[in-house]
């Protein structure tokens, strides 16, 4: 038992809040182990204090608290990992979108420079893309400088 000595010292301390204060100061996952060790130490301590009959109820409460604390900690870890994964996927998707937009701009530029019967339609399409980029705060004026000759 890793925490047995500390637990016994704090249980028999004259400071009634010492045990709770110490447990709260420990990292979340260690608190689970501490509660489970306390559950093992508590029956003997309570028996020595003449409260052996109450030990089972306290131990059940400690086990329940340890399980809830562990579940809460694991849920928080999972949420954090899920958020990190979502951020990573978003960044990857934005990179793909940026590359696709660069290719699209290049294609549109080549089509306009080549001329042809659809030039007016291309200009209208490009104006729509630029408007959409502006609406979505994705507009980069330097990417469309070449288009000013066609407006």
22-41 pLDDT, tens digit per residue, is: 999 999 889 999 999 999 99
Q: CB–CB of 97/106 below 8 Å? A: no
Portion of the chain with pLDDT greater than 90, in percent: 65
pLDDT greater than 90 at residue 116: no
Distance, CA of 11 to CA of 64 (rounded, Å): 20
Residue 87 banded pLDDT, cuts 50, 70, 90: very high
pLDDT greater than 90 at residue 147: no
Query: What is the pLDDT averaged over residues 3-9?
Result: 92
Number of other residues whose CB lies within 10 A of the CB of residue 130: 16
């Amino acid at each position: 038992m890793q925490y047995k000595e500390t637990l016994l010292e704090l249980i028999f301390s004259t400071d009634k809040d010492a045990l709770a204060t110490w447990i709260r100061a420990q990292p979340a996952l260690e608190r689970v182990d501490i509660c489970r060790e306390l559950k093992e130490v508590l029956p003997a301590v309570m028996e020595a204090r003449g409260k052996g009959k109450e030990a089972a109820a306290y131990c059940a409460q400690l086990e329940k608290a340890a399980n809830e604390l562990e579940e809460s900690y694991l849920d928080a870890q999972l949420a954090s990992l899920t958020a990190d994964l979502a951020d990573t996927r978003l960044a990857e998707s934005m990179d793909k979108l940026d590359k696709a937009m660069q290719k699209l701009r290049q294609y549109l530029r080549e089509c306009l420079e080549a001329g042809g019967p659809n030039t007016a339609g291309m200009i209208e399409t490009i104006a729509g893309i630029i408007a959409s980029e502006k609406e979505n705060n994705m507009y980069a004026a330097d990417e469309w400088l070449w288009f000013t000759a066609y407006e």
